Structure 1
Amino acid sequence: MATAARAPFSTLPGDDELMDTLHDAPIDGSLDDPEPEPEGPRMTRLRGVLEKSLQETLKACNFNAIRECFPALAAANPTDLQDAHQKVCQFLSVEVNNEFEQVIAERNVIFKLNGLDRLIAEAKSNGITAGSRTMLDLQPDVAVRARTVPTKEAEIERLKAELERLQLDNRRLGGALNHSKAEQAAVKYELLESYSEFQESAKVAAGIPIDDMERLLDTTLGHVRDP
C-alpha cells in the first residue's frame, strides 16, 4: 500500500527570532530586578524617627546605669562590664536596623509612602473642592472649626435636653414648695387661733374667784368620773 509522502519540515516567518529568544533566555526564568523605589521625604522622616528613638534607648541604657545595676561586677571587673555594655549596644543597634529594613521591604513601605506623597502633591496642585471653596483657601483654624461643627452641634442638643430636664425638675420642685408653704400657713393659722382661744380662756379664768374655780373643777371632775 502506498503511503502519502510527508511534507518536509519548514518554519514560519519569525520562528528563527523566537527560537533565538528562547535560547538566550535564562533557564530559571528570572527577569531583571526593577529599579528600587527612591526614598521620599516621608521615608526619610521615618528613618529619622527610628534613629532618634534608637539613640534615646541607647542613651537610657548608658554605662552608668549598667554600673548601678551591677555594682559588684563594676567594682571587680569594670573593663569587662564596659566591653559587655558596648557589645550589647552594638547588637541592639544592628538588630533594630535589620528588623526595620526587613519590615520596610516586606510591607513595601517606601512605595506606599511615596504614593501618599504623590497623592498629597496631586491634591494640592488640583485643589480639593469643599462646596464652593477649595480646601487650600481655608485657614487652618477655620478648617479645624469646620470639622468640629457636628460634634459641637451634638453637644448643644445634649445640653438643650439637659436644660429642659432641669427646668421640668424646677417646676416640679416649685409646685411642691408652694404646697408646703400653703400647709405651713394653715398650721400657723390654727396655732394662732388656738393661742387666741387660750388667751381668752386665761382671761376668763383670771376673773373667777378661787373658791368658785375649785367648785367648778370639782363639778367638772365629778361629771368626768360619773358620766
Structure 2
Amino acid sequence: MPSATEPTSRSPSPAPAPPLAEAPGTRAQGLINVYNSAIGSTLKKCSTNNFASCFPTAAQYNPEVLEHMRQQMVNQLDMTWKANFEALLKERDVVRSLNALDRYVEDAKNRKAKAEKNANGGPVEVPVPPHTLPPSMIHLAHLMPFLEEQATEMNSRLESTQQANTELLSTITAQRAEIEALVRGLENVVHDLEASAQMMGQDEIQGLSREIKDLEMEMKK
C-alpha cells in the first residue's frame, strides 16, 4: 500500500454524487419521529387529572371549562413546538445533511462489501484515513472533479474545431482544384489564340509577297 506522504499513483475521482432528495431519508425521518414522540410523551403528562390538580377550585365548580382550556393549551403547544422544529430544520438544512449522511454510510457499506469481495477471503486492504493525507492530496481530490469537467469541455471544443477545420480544408481543396482547372482552360484558350494569330500573320505575309511580285512584274513590262 502506498505511503500517505509519498503516493505512487492516484485513483480516478469518483463520479459526481446525485442530487440530494428533499424528502426526509432514514435518519431525518427518525429524528422527526423521535421529536414527535417526545412531544407526545410530554403533552401526555398534561392529563385531565394532572391539570385539574393545579386548579382545584376551577376543577370543582367548572370542570368542563377547565378541560376545554387544557385541550386548547395542549393543541397550541403541539402546533407551536412542531412549527418551531420545522423552521429549525429548514434553517439548518437538517434534512439534506442527514440525507447526505445516509448516502455516505451506504456508499461506505458498498465499498466495504466490494473490498471484501475482491479480497476473495484474504485480508482486506485498509484504506488510508483521510486525516493522514497531506494537504496537497486533499486539495487535489476536491479540485479533480472540476478539472475533469473542464478537460471534457475543452476536448469537446477541440473536436468541434478539428471537424470545422477538416470541412474548411475540404472546401479549400475543392476551390483550389476548380481554380487550377480554370487556369488550365485559360492557358489552352491563350495557346489557341496565339496559334491562330501566327497562322493569320503568315497568310498576310504570303499575300503581301505575292502583291510585291505582281507589282515587280508589271514594272518590268
The TM-score with structure 2 as length reference comes to 0.42
Higher CA-based Rg: 1
The TM-score with structure 1 as length reference comes to 0.41
